Amino acid sequence: MDLINILIITLSLLPFLVMRMTKKFILFAIIALFAIFLHGIFLFGYQILYFLLIIYVVSTIVELVSLKTRFNCFGVKYSYNLNHSFFIKMNLLGVYPIEISFAWVILKYISFNTAFLISQAFLPSPIFVIFLTPLILVSQDLIIDPVAVNVAKMWEWEKGTKYFGIPWQNFLGWYLVGFISSLIFSFVDTGRVVSFSYLFILPVLFYALLLQNVNLILKLDKTKTILGLLPGIFWTFLGTVSLVVLYFRQS
């Protein structure tokens, strides 16, 4: 592992320390996005910046359309708690906190890296990545949304299902956002084959760290929490196996 890899990995872990110390998501997001820029450029080249921009634009448009019009991509009416301490009181059109789009970029990049890693290990195909990336993204929301709604109270749904009060259409909307951004990027990306890199450890590690939120909802319903956690465990395991496969393939 060379010095650049070490620096990028160290910088990528810094946001979690900052979040723990300050409880300010905006600081976490700024540092995380900077680390993602470096990580993405080093692994995929400058084309990855198009991907990050596409994610930001697509997610922002989908959220604003859903919040301000009758065409709700997430199926059920919802609203953000704009006075929550998680947000810095900067929002778009008076309904949409800017931090949410930053979160979309971070989560989507993690999903894309994990999907790309698995694809390179088992089925090198751009089409496979396009469909797998949003699937991994949805598995993240199976943990994120229950915490945000039931514990943190950052947003609320008008009506939901027995799964922590989250409507099933929401998960379909997450898949839609992930799929559209991946599909658009496929027309920009020239396609590539990437061998093993220690930087691929980061998306798997980030994904695993997201699962620590499970403790916050276990007390609410242990059975549902375990069911929601299973996809995350699977993708983390498969991502780790993919790392091992690529490592030995290059040897």
* 237-249 pLDDT, tens digit each: 999 999 999 888 8
Nearest-angstrom CA–CA distance, 57 and 78: 20
Q: Is the pLDDT of residue 210 over 80?
A: no
Residue 25, amino acid: F
Q: Is residue 134 in some structural domain?
A: yes
Q: Is residue 27 in some structural domain?
A: no
Question: SS3 letters for 210-245?
Answer: HHHHHHHHHCCCHHHHHHHHHHHHHHHHHHHHHHHH
pLDDT given at position 194: 67
Nearest-angstrom CA–CA distance, 42 and 198: 11
Look up the pTM and report it: 0.91
Q: Is residue 7 in some structural domain?
A: no
pLDDT given at position 105: 95
Number of domains in the chain: 1
Give the mean pLDDT of 188-203: 71
Give the mean pLDDT of 55-82: 93
Q: Is the pLDDT of residue 190 over 60?
A: no
Domain region containing 185: 55-250
DSSP 162-193: TTTT--HHHHHHHHHHHHHHHHHHHHH-----
Residue found by looking up tokens 């609203």 in the block: 79
Tell me the pLDDT tens digit for each residue of 216-232. Answer: 888 889 999 999 999 98
* Contacting residues for 123 by C-beta, under 8 A, at least 6 apart: none
Lowest mean pLDDT of 5-14, 29-38, 129-138, 217-226, name the range.
5-14
pLDDT given at position 59: 94
Q: Is residue 215 in some structural domain?
A: yes
Residue 112 has, within 13 A of its CA and on its CB side, a CA count of: 28
Lowest mean pLDDT of 38-47, 142-151, 164-173, name the range.
38-47
Nearest-angstrom CA–CA distance, 235 and 115: 9
